[in-house]
Amino acid sequence: VRYINDSKATNIDAAAKALGAFQNIRWICGGLMKEGGVDALQDIAKTSVKKAYVIGREAVEFARQIGVTAEVCTTMQTAVRAAARDAETGDTVLLAPAAASFDQYDNFELRGQ
């Protein structure tokens, strides 16, 4: 299992690039959604994401918009544990939030620690 920390992927374009770079993804995402939501990630997520683990204050709405199987984890610690629990050989656990961190962290660097 490979773990990738792309905590800086705080917008749709950056998250889409991260999702497009890997297959068999256990995607840790969420936080404060930016204007326009995250439904633009549905197509790329459907081709590469096995399951999403959604964090943050808007986790339920975020999970609804991404269009893949999702587990609402709320916190980063819970999301990492859940993704590690589910990960299989060949999977990539990817932190690419597609959202701002300010609901739980002062900045993206702290979210990625």
What are the sequence ranges of the domains in the chain? 2-112
**pLDDT of 104 over the 90 cut:** no
**Strand pairing report for 92-95 and 2-5:** parallel
How many angstroms separate the CA atoms of 14 and 97, rounded? 9
DSSP 90: T
**pLDDT of 42 over the 50 cut:** yes
Band of the pLDDT at 33, cuts 50, 70, 90?
confident
- Give which of 110, 109, 103 is closest to 30, Cα–Cα: 103
Least confident range from 12-16, 55-59, 83-87, 100-104: namely: 100-104
Q: Which CATH superfamily is domain 2-112 in?
A: Mur ligase, C-terminal domain (3.90.190.20)
DSSP lists the bridge partners of residue 94 as: 4, 27
Q: Is the pTM of this model over 0.95?
A: no
Q: HSE (CB half, 13 Å, CA atoms) of 72?
A: 10
